[in-house]
Amino acid sequence: MDNIIEINDVSVTYQKDSSVIHAISHLTLNIKRGSFVAILGRNGSGKSTLAKLLNASLLPDSGEIFVDGINTTNEERAFDIRSKVGMVFQNPDNQMVATIIEDDLAFGPENLGIPREEIRKRVDWALKTVGMYEHRMRATQKLSGGQKQRVAIAAVLAMSPEVLILDEATAMLDPRGRSEVMDTARKLNKEKNITVVLITHYMDEAVDVDEIVVLDSGCIATKGSPLEVFEQIDIIKNTGLEFPTATETSLKLRGLGYDIPVVLTDESLVEALCQLK
Amino acid sequence: MRDIAFGQYYPADSVIHKLDSRIKLILVVVYVVGVFLVNSFISYIPVALFLLSTILLSKVSLIKVMKSIKGILFIIMFTSLLNIFFNKVDNVLWSWGFLVITDGGLKIAAKLALRLLLLVAGTSMLTFTTTPMGITDGLESIMKPLKLIKVPVHDIAITMSITLRFIPILIEEIDKIIMAQKARGASFDTGGLVKRIKAYLPVLIPLFVSAFRRADELALAMDARCYNATQNRTKLKELKCKKRDLIALFITTIYLILVITIPMFFPIILDFFSK
């Protein structure tokens, strides 16, 4: 299979006081082109460090990372990597440069020196894709959290990336804003074939992804399809993560002796409960 | 959130909004020069007329303009009061101990207050009618010759536009911190002046810490969006001088001439009508 991101035996360490902390240690991971991957882990598990490694904001102390075949240590091509890997961060206010939405979207393509007519096309396209085209002349300050994050996603889209990284992009949003952002990410993955890397600690967001990678103290604790991962109850509990509500319920029922499969969504829980005798 | 009008963009569809931002920057400079050249009350007439017609043309609501003045009302009153009491010119109108009011002092104070009012209202018309990005692009274009002597023109311009963008965010933050400190029993409106100023220290420190954190995150986000990737940066919006810009420039020139010459011609005009 074609991998858009290849991480080979990467380690990152930093000094804190007198001890050496391994933010990432000997991590090897491939991300397939066009897939939707969730990276889960509690605070300090190394997931944000991993995000910074993927767009060459941070270079590994050892090991290598390839983005679409380009080594991230290749300084001359750092901007190529950054235009391929778009990042959306946690706080929407701290990633917007301009006051007016369409000006903010133009920032990325302008930096790349793309011709004016092409920027116009890209900005309009990106705004329509995230459903914010009618708001293009409004001030970013007046939007809701979910709308701001959708604008931030559009700003990344205007650079026509191959990979979209959502680094805890839903952490500061209310449930409605969260589902707005998740729906947008899913749509981009399905319709525009953009690889999405979702970094989060909300298990509920990870139930319908292609692959889950669970990080714990800089190492991969487990990975696989959502069902495969959530069945490893002990590992999940050890990494300090919480199960999706439906999964939690089904696990408890199994613990009480009911014959019920491990489920991920509310719908499949209802189905499983209805089949109980 | 507190409503701070100064430095904020007011979206509307008007001629003034559509003017080239470089021209607007030049116009504001000319306007300010005009305000400072005024030395008699009569010259305030062209200044006030110019400002008033700009406000009307720009479709910015008068209430918004008033609000931008509200912010500096205290400074205006303070400086006028000082000027009333410290300028002892011509006839004494009223005196009490060391406090003396003269008609000359009143005139100077009134001129100063008018000057400040016109200055703030006029300059805020620029930010009302021009997006921060527009101001940035305009400044960058005007400062372009400085690039030859290695002045980082684009960086200066973008710093300015980010400053404008973060004003409302930081004000919101101040309100939040004040509320948080109040919830923990801090008091901001009791005690003497020194005590009150001291009470703001626990507001300023978290504000600075958070501003640094924001700056750090913004820098990361700007890097992620390829800031400084190429020297040949392009622009979504092209600045173009059109006919209306030339007309605006022409009108402003007339304004400046009027401001300078009106005190000379005024006696002649007065003479003409009294005959």
Query: Cβ–Cβ of A93/B221 closer than 8 Å?
Result: no
Query: Cβ–Cβ of B229/A94 closer than 8 Å?
Result: no
Percent pLDDT > 70 in chain A is 100
For chain B, the average pLDDT equals 85
Exposure string of B222-231, with b = 16+ CB inside 10 Å and e = fewer, is bbbbbbebee
Q: Check residue B1 and give its pLDDT.
A: 39
pLDDT above 90: residue A153: yes
Any B CB within 8 A of A159 CB: yes
What is Dmax (Cα atoms) for chain A?
66
How far does B56 lie from chain A, in Å, by closest CA?
22
Query: Cβ–Cβ of B223/A82 closer than 8 Å?
Result: yes
In angstroms, what CA-CA distances link A81 with A48, A68, B180?
18, 8, 42
How far does A88 lie from chain B, in Å, by closest CA?
8
Any B CB within 8 A of A142 CB: no
Contact (CB, 8 A) for A118 and A101: no
Contacts 24+ apart (CB under 8 A), B63-69: B64/B5, B64/B10, B64/B128, B65/B5, B65/B121, B65/B124, B65/B125, B65/B128, B67/B3, B67/B5, B68/B5, B68/B6, B68/B120, B68/B121, B68/B124, B68/B128, B69/B117, B69/B120, B69/B121
pLDDT above 50: residue B217: yes
Span A77-95, average pLDDT: 92
Between CA A93 and CA B173 the distance in angstroms is: 12
How far does B243 lie from chain A, in Å, by closest CA?
23
Query: For A244-267, how does the pLDDT look when each residue is reduced to its tens digit (9 = 90+)?
Result: 888 888 888 888 888 888 888 888
Between CA B22 and CA B135 the distance in angstroms is: 8
Residue B126 CB-density burial (10 A; 0-12 exposed, 13-18 middle, 19+ buried): buried
| Residue count of chain B | 275
Query: A97: which chain B residues are within 8 Å (Cβ-Cβ)?
Result: 158, 161-162, 165, 218, 222, 225
Query: For A165-222, how does the pLDDT look when each residue is reduced to its tens digit (9 = 90+)?
Result: 999 999 888 888 999 999 999 999 999 999 999 998 888 888 889 999 999 988 999 9
Q: Which amino acid is at B43?
A: S
Any B CB within 8 A of A87 CB: yes
Any A CB within 8 A of B152 CB: no
What number is the ipTM of this complex?
A: 0.85
Pick the CATH number of A3-242 from 3.90.76.10, 3.40.50.920, 3.30.160.100, 3.40.50.300: 3.40.50.300
Structure tokens at A133: 């085209």
What is Dmax (Cα atoms) for chain B?
75
Query: For B121-163, how does the pLDDT look when each residue is reduced to its tens digit (9 = 90+)?
Result: 898 899 889 887 788 888 888 888 888 888 888 888 888 888 8
Query: For B189-199, how does the pLDDT look when each residue is reduced to its tens digit (9 = 90+)?
Result: 777 888 888 88
**Strand, helix or coil for residue A32:** strand
Any A CB within 8 A of B82 CB: no
Any B CB within 8 A of A113 CB: yes
> Which candidate in A85, A90, A99, A163 is best for mutational testing of the B interface (most B CBs within 10 A)?
A99
Between CA B137 and CA B153 the distance in angstroms is: 10
Contact (CB, 8 A) for A81 and A58: no
Contact (CB, 8 A) for A235 and A221: yes
Between CA A165 and CA B155 the distance in angstroms is: 27
Cross-strand pairs, A15: A20
Between CA B239 and CA B91 the distance in angstroms is: 55
Phi, psi (rounded to 5 degrees) for A260: -145, 140
Query: For A40-69, how does the pLDDT look when each residue is reduced to its tens digit (9 = 90+)?
Result: 988 888 888 999 999 898 999 999 999 999
Task: Give the β-pairing of A62-67 and A163-167.
Answer: unpaired
DSSP line for B223-272: HHTTTTS-SS---SS-----HHHHHHHHHHHHHHHHHHHHHHHHHHHHHH
Structure tokens at A117: 């007519």
Beta strands per DSSP E along chain A: 3-16, 19-32, 36-40, 62-67, 70-71, 85-88, 163-167, 195-200, 211-216, 219-224
What are the extents of the domains in chain A? Answer: 3-242
Angle (deg, nearest 10), helices A145-157 and A175-191: 20
pLDDT confidence of A1, banded at 50, 70, 90? low
pTM, full prediction? 0.79
Contact (CB, 8 A) for A109 and A119: yes
Q: Report the first-to-last Cα separation within chain B, whole angstroms.
A: 59
